[in-house]
Amino acid sequence: MSENSNKVAIITGASRGIGAAIAERLAGDGFTIVINYAGKSSEAAALAARIEQGGGRTLTAQADVGDPAAIGRMFDAAEAAFGGVDVLVNNAGIMRLAPLSEVNDAVIDSQIAVNLRGVINTLREAARRLRSGGRIINLSSSVVGLYPPTYAVYAATKAGVEAMTHVLAKELRGRNITVNAVAPGPTATALFLDGKPQEVIEHLTNLAPLERLGQPQDIAAAVSFLAGPDGAWVNGQVLRANGGII
């Protein structure tokens, strides 16, 4: 039996993309998985079915991470179903790009609501409820560091996520809980690919000395390390998983 058996991981935004890959990876590592999603219930249900066919345990939980009451209910449901929560992966995120001179209020507010307020909501619940031995892994982005044009609001929300990672690691002194961030580079998901011309995708793909686009499974592997026994001594760190772009 794996060391992770009987441990419960909540993964936000797990219906597709990087979150779905993290869910499959952590299920393979032995964790029971709470699959959070915003709207795509059929994707979440299909992922749950795949994991359960492989012998895993899941719960699907619709909740907008920006809604504090909904996040409280999601933790309640996880505790009621499985007895507690050990791991939180803050993966849900949105990206809306525009130069600061042109960015509109809806684009600003939606990214702050999901990427920043959403992470605050889940971190607050996790700080109150995670069991000893727990792990928190926040998804940042390598644009914190690269700072390309048009990414100002998005990068600002992710810089905030990194700041909270460092602070919460210290606040949880004595609880035996680590808090880290994983900062992917360009990764083949809808968030990265949608709306980008092929030449832009090729340019960003070739930024990495490893000369390929990141795959969701590359990011899931880094999260698996931090969530599992081998990651136990890593705390308050940001791990860039980006093929070497920065």
Residues that are catalytic: 154
Does 43 bind ligand NDP (CB under 6 A)? Our answer is: yes
Does 24 bind ligand NDP (CB under 6 A)? Our answer is: no
CB of 173 to ligand NDP, least distance (A): 27
Distance separating alpha carbons of residues 124 and 225, to the nearest angstrom:
23
CB of 148 to ligand NDP, least distance (A): 12
Residues numbered 142 to 181 that lie near ligand NDP (CB under 6 A) are none
Does 56 bind ligand NDP (CB under 6 A)? Our answer is: no
CB of 204 to ligand NDP, least distance (A): 9
Query: Between 132 and 199, whose beta carbon lies closer to ligand NDP?
Result: 199
Please pick, from the candidates 8, 9, 10, 16, the single residue that binds ligand NDP as defined by CB under 6 A: 16
CA dist 62 → 13, 79, 101, 168, 191 (Å): 9, 15, 35, 26, 20
Amino acid, res. 220 = A
Residue 18 · residue 219 · CB < 8 Å: yes
The number of residues that bind ligand NDP (CB under 6 A) is 33
Q: Name which of 209, 245, 241, 213 is nearest 225 in CA terms.
A: 241
Torsion of CA 36, 40, 42, 44, to 10 degrees: -20
Enter the tokens of residue 47.
């992922």
Does 58 bind ligand NDP (CB under 6 A)? Our answer is: no
Query: Which of 45-53, 75-83, 87-95, 162-170 is the region at the interface with ligand NDP (rule: CB under 6 A)?
Result: 87-95
Count CB atoms within 10 A of the CB of residue 200: 11
CB of 207 to ligand NDP, least distance (A): 12
Query: Which of 129-137, 162-170, 183-191, 230-238 is the region at the interface with ligand NDP (rule: CB under 6 A)?
Result: 183-191
Residue 164 · residue 123 · CB < 8 Å: yes
Query: Which of 49-57, 97-105, 164-172, 190-198 is the region at the interface with ligand NDP (rule: CB under 6 A)?
Result: 190-198
Amino acid, res. 240 = R
Three-state SS at 156: helix
Q: Sign (positive/negative) of CA torsion 147, 148, 149, 155?
A: negative
Does 92 bind ligand NDP (CB under 6 A)? Our answer is: yes
Query: Between 81 and 246, whose beta carbon lies closer to ligand NDP?
Result: 246
List beta partners, residue 214: 187
**Applying CB under 6 A, which residues contact ligand NDP?**
12-19, 36-40, 43, 64-66, 91-95, 114, 118, 139, 141, 184, 186-187, 189-192
